[in-house]
Structure 1
Amino acid sequence: MSCAANASAKKEIASIGDRTFLGLDLSTQTLKACVLNDKLEVLKEVYVNFDSELPEFRTIGGAIIDKADNRNVTVPTIMWVKALDMLMDKLMLEGIDFGKIAAVSGSGQQHGTVYWQRSAEETLKNLSSSDFLHQQLSSSFSVTSSPIWMDSSTSKQCKQLEEAVGGPEKLAEITGSRAYERFSGSQIAKVFQTKPDAYKNTEKISLVSSFLCSILLGKIAPIDISDGSGMNLLNIRTKKWDQTLLDACGPNLAEKLGQSVPSYSDVGSISRYFKERYNFNPNCRVIAHTGDNPASLMGMRLNEGWIAVSLGTSDTVFLWLKEPKSVLDGHVLCNPIDENVYMALLCFKNGSLTRERIKNKCANGSWDIFDQLLNSTPRGNFGNMGLYYDIQEILPFLQGDYRFTKNGSTCKFTSLEVEVRALVEGQFLAKRAYAEDFGIQVGQGTKILATGGASQNKGILQVLADVFNSPVYVFKEANSAMIGAGYQAKHGLLKPSMSYGDMIYNLPQPELACEPYPDAAEIYTPMVERYRSIVKDLIRK
């Protein structure tokens, strides 16, 4: 077959039933990829672990913590590029036919920033397919180490952002969040203030997601509105950068960021580098990349009426919102599926590690004994309530263990089973209280989707169902951000001819795990109000 005929055949393959879709996820510790078929079934997964497979960069947990000031947390940007080289080689070794890939999208850890050196875009456009990416892009970054979401060194810049618009409430109204140290706007402001020459020599600024997209595209990719809404710079209602906030961060920032685009946007064809080096189909489309949290929303197939609760090292709650609501606790982001609706994000640092600590203390390190203790106490725990924060919590801003009897006095629980139930109920009461602050009415058609390690524990899920007075379902697909990126690849390719809902309609539905007991509302609705009162008093102290 001639080269022309072969190219024609590949174009045809990408348009019929055996076309595939590539989803990438550049997370904190790994770069992952999945290949999905046209039915959105996973055909192959590969990953690169930064610590073990790229030891020359000396990361711990995928990051470098400054020994002189542990608030400074960065990643050598070129490490991510080299990881992509390795990932593509792994996909080749797995026998992936890149010619069948019709579209690619990706997700990246939210809030990290990448600073492209002047002339970097020209380098991207002229990459030689005979050399590795990391060899050719080694001098393309004006700031060689990217600040990431773990960085908390920007308190000064956060205060400046809030003052620029009239306070934290106003900033939350505009951008969906009050100023947070890990957010990108304050990171950019710090670079401008502490590295003015590097900022001046920066041609473009990307988020981690749009940085990955840029390499695939062969030019600087736009920031999508969903990941962009986690920067404290984007007006979540107009979907435009707020000029006052841009000016508070650095000069000419609008030019360095470029215009934001909807998350499902087709931003161009795969670059010449990938066509020549890996034989990608010339018609393969690159769909805008987004943050890992919005991608997880897609991967979990969350829609209106559902609340997703991820029970991992930290616990995360995802909510689907019709309208944005200004709150100081939590985040409102633009929805990656539909730019006319929103998503809310609630983060709780003390999740599974705290549950494990109480398991080790009360149940001899056994989850089976933990379950027996949990199930041996009645719902409501005789009025006892406990709040457990091993590390400084975000919601609420507390640290330490707090125990209360029915009459409100502080105490130490003498019963192991009371301690266990106090922990689990307290964690879910917090999640319900903060979800209600976003206007979510639990128990009125609401369904809970539980994921993460603790979602395998039936006793814990039963408490979740009772506290929220809602049925709990489980979704067994792991790596929801990576899978969500794969879904977005197809969504971006087919939109507007097929909606996201129609695209995922035939996928397996989550399985019902448990339903609330009939007296759940009677027991837990008053406990939520009691939780609010206790937290208010603790914060006041």
Structure 2
Amino acid sequence: MYLSINQLVIVVYSILVHGYQKGNGKMYLLPMIQLKLIVLDGQLKQKYSTKVEFDLELPEFRTKRGVIRKCNDVVVAPVLMWVKALDLALDKLRASGCDLSLVAGICGCAQQHGSVYWKNNASDLLSNLDPGRFLHADLATAFSLMESPVWMDSSTSLYCRKLEDSFGNSEKLAQTTGSRAYERFTASQIAKVYDTKPGIYQITERISLISSFLASIFIGGYASIDHSDGSGMNLLDIKNRKWCGEALEAVAPGLKEKLGEVVENLTVLGQIAPYFVQRYGFNPECKVVSFTGDNPASLAGMNLGAGEVAISLGTSDTVFLSLEEGTGGLLGHVLCNPVDSSLFMGLICFKNGSLTRERIKNLCVGESWDKFNQILETTDVGNYGYIGLYYDLTEITPHIQGEYRFDPDGNLISKFPAPEMDVRACIESQAIRLRLYSERLGYSSGHSSSILITGGASSNTAILQIISNVFNAPVYTLDLPDSACLGAGYMAAYALRQSDERIPFYDYINQISGRKRCLLCTPDETACKVYMQLVSKYRDCENKAFGIYYSRLTP
């Protein structure tokens, strides 16, 4: 059964949104956190949308770009700010004319890794919400920690090392939980709370991720963490899809009880709490589907099939792929797949993306992207064997910064024979990097392989042709302005279908949404052969650059 045309799905979305502001002739990155609600109809088309921007509409919390930065790399967000934003967003949605009695289901997604700490007996407050009061008033005393650590926090290096040491090394931790220990991951954040604020930890009844915290409000009780978002904590055994006892013991005592049980993605958690029925007019039969993280929701929104890779070309370049094997390693992250419990998802992010491309453009040809693209279209594939690596920011993988240029024999050189060679070197090295690390995560090219491109550079066919040739796969684009939002909506619709329907998520969403992908590029056989030979050379140059970088750091 599809959702009927007069039934709606609400998506709750709390996420870091990137925008740009021009100033002094330059572009500055302006991250701004917001809470957003969208309403989809039975054909998964957006009918209503509203948002609350934390800095602008909730100035009393004194956040800058949605967070509070403290000393020693501590970054937090006020929990009640999120609750109050939900109050405002629901009021806005009702005022927009949306008939909330038609809403059949609610799902949502949120920034990953952040944690919320519920005080002892907070479950009583959740189950007895007063429809005559705002949520933020009813839940003002529900939290033991009023400021939640978020993914931008990098203050937990000590606890990362302790967690890895408890497993023997970082690789063993990654094989079990899908990632090596990262400062932003929830395990290290909880360990820090237990170590530095033991009294807070002691009076904490439940620890939620931001996604399950939002779901908890809607069901009027503690919502379970789902497998996908839970696999971004360094606490879940991703193969068995259960909490990892060894990790729990290494982080804090009694942690399993405070986390509760994990559930499969697409689980219907229950019906919406009476509070929302009485205050906003929701149907009491409205179902709440388990919320998830923004990255898993993005994978669902892009509706990736077998053999497909999604690449977001933005300020950071990010690769998403569906995997059959859940073998975590030191590169990137392996998470539980949000829409197929038999699969996994790979995720890897590179800091040096569009801003690096723009800098090379400005350096070589000025402001014109047309001239930049003309160089890509008229110069030789493979750049005569010259390779350039450009890390304006300290890269995540590999951990390196600086510019490195190599001649055809792999020797480090200060500059190329012609300045415009940097144009092709930049794009080719970024494309090869995407393929190389995708393969290390588990991607393998084949006759069914294809690439789905999103982000700011998704309309630049000169860049996309190089990606197509490097991957030896066709490149498609999809008009998808908000893949995480839509993904959560897709998950709600799929979870609310008739239980006896066995249709896979991929086919179900394609049938309902009618979204069509646009073919932009197909691989050129001759160019593919050149890049096949260049991949190993790129790998050698990257290893050399890595050694050079660390030799310069050593006195």
TM-score, structure 1 length as denominator?
Answer: 0.95
Tell me whether 1:540 sits opposite 2:547 in the alignment.
yes
Q: Which residue of 1 aligns with 2:534?
A: 527
Q: 1:30 pairs with 26, 31, 34, which one?
A: 34
Q: Which residue of 1 aligns with 2:27?
A: none
Q: Which residue of 2 aligns with 1:461?
A: 464
SS of the residue corresponding to residue 39 of structure 2 reads: strand
Q: 2:497 pairs with 465, 471, 494, which one?
A: 494
- The one-letter amino acid of 1:501's match is Y
Cα separation, partners in 2 of 1:160 and 1:459, compared to 1, 3 Å: same
SS of the residue corresponding to residue 532 of structure 1 reads: helix
Q: 2:475 pairs with 461, 468, 472, which one?
A: 472
Q: Quote how far apart the aligned CAs of 1:417 are.
A: 2.6
Q: Which residue of 1 aligns with 2:47?
A: 43
Q: Which residue of 1 aligns with 2:255?
A: 253
Q: Which residue of 1 aligns with 2:6?
A: 18
Q: Which residue of 2 aligns with 1:393?
A: 395
Q: Which residue of 2 aligns with 1:366?
A: 368
SS of the residue corresponding to residue 27 of structure 1 reads: strand
Report the Cα distance in structure 1 between the residues aligned to 2:85 and 2:500, rounded to whole angstroms.
Answer: 35
- The one-letter amino acid of 2:500's match is S
Deviations 1:376-420 (A, max 9, x none): 322211212111111111111111111112122223135343111
Report the Cα distance in structure 1 between the residues aligned to 2:206 and 2:348, rounded to whole angstroms.
Answer: 30
CA contact (8 A) 1:124 1:219 kept: yes
Q: Which residue of 2 aligns with 1:204?
A: 206
Tell me whether 1:92 sits opposite 2:97 in the alignment.
no
- The one-letter amino acid of 1:504's match is I
Q: Which residue of 1 aligns with 2:516?
A: 509
Q: Which residue of 1 aligns with 2:174?
A: 172
Cα separation, partners in 2 of 1:328 and 1:259, compared to 1, 3 Å: same
CA contact (8 A) 1:405 1:411 kept: no
Q: Quote how far apart the aligned CAs of 1:119 are.
A: 1.6
Q: Quote how far apart the aligned CAs of 1:361 are.
A: 2.0
- RMSD (CA atoms): 1.5
- The one-letter amino acid of 1:453's match is G
CA contact (8 A) 1:374 1:417 kept: no
Tell me whether 1:421 sits opposite 2:424 in the alignment.
yes
Report the Cα distance in structure 2 between the residues aligned to 1:220 and 1:366, rounded to whole angstroms.
Answer: 54
Q: How does 1:26-425 map to 2 (within 5 A)?
A: 26-28=14-16, 29-66=33-70, 68-69=71-72, 71-409=73-411, 410-413=413-416, 415-425=418-428
SS of the residue corresponding to residue 206 of structure 2 reads: strand
Report the Cα distance in structure 2 between the residues aligned to 1:479 and 1:16, rounded to whole angstroms.
Answer: 23
- The one-letter amino acid of 2:42's match is D
- The one-letter amino acid of 1:250's match is A
Report the Cα distance in structure 2 between the residues aligned to 1:411 and 1:352, rounded to whole angstroms.
Answer: 23
- The one-letter amino acid of 1:36's match is L
- Unaligned runs of 5+ residues in structure 2 are 17-32, 549-555
SS of the residue corresponding to residue 510 of structure 2 reads: coil
Report the Cα distance in structure 2 between the residues aligned to 1:366 and 1:377, rounded to whole angstroms.
Answer: 17
SS of the residue corresponding to residue 160 of structure 1 reads: helix
- The one-letter amino acid of 1:34's match is I
- The one-letter amino acid of 2:235's match is L
CA contact (8 A) 2:476 2:521 kept: yes
Aligned length: 526
Report the Cα distance in structure 2 between the residues aligned to 1:196 and 1:299, rounded to whole angstroms.
Answer: 40
Cα separation, partners in 2 of 1:454 and 1:369, compared to 1, 3 Å: same
CA contact (8 A) 1:228 1:234 kept: yes
Q: Quote how far apart the aligned CAs of 1:15 are.
A: 7.1
Report the Cα distance in structure 2 between the residues aligned to 1:269 and 1:45, rounded to whole angstroms.
Answer: 23
SS of the residue corresponding to residue 280 of structure 1 reads: coil
Report the Cα distance in structure 1 between the residues aligned to 2:147 and 2:484, rounded to whole angstroms.
Answer: 24
CA contact (8 A) 2:332 2:441 kept: no
CA contact (8 A) 1:302 1:320 kept: yes
Q: Quote how far apart the aligned CAs of 1:224 are.
A: 0.2
Q: Quote how far apart the aligned CAs of 1:521 are.
A: 2.2
Cα separation, partners in 2 of 1:492 and 1:197, compared to 1, 3 Å: same
Q: Quote how far apart the aligned CAs of 1:462 are.
A: 1.1
Q: Quote how far apart the aligned CAs of 1:51 are.
A: 2.1
Q: Quote how far apart the aligned CAs of 1:56 are.
A: 2.4
SS of the residue corresponding to residue 37 of structure 2 reads: strand
Deviations 1:412-451 (A, max 9, x none): 1353431111111111111111111133222532100000
Report the Cα distance in structure 1 between the residues aligned to 2:370 and 2:60, rounded to whole angstroms.
Answer: 42
TM-score, structure 2 length as denominator?
Answer: 0.92
CA contact (8 A) 1:169 1:178 kept: yes
Deviations 1:267-292 (A, max 9, x none): 01011111111100110000000000
Report the Cα distance in structure 1 between the residues aligned to 2:417 and 2:92, rounded to whole angstroms.
Answer: 54
- The one-letter amino acid of 1:143's match is L
CA contact (8 A) 1:377 1:417 kept: no
Deviations 1:230-289 (A, max 9, x none): 100000111110111111111110000000001100001011111111100110000000
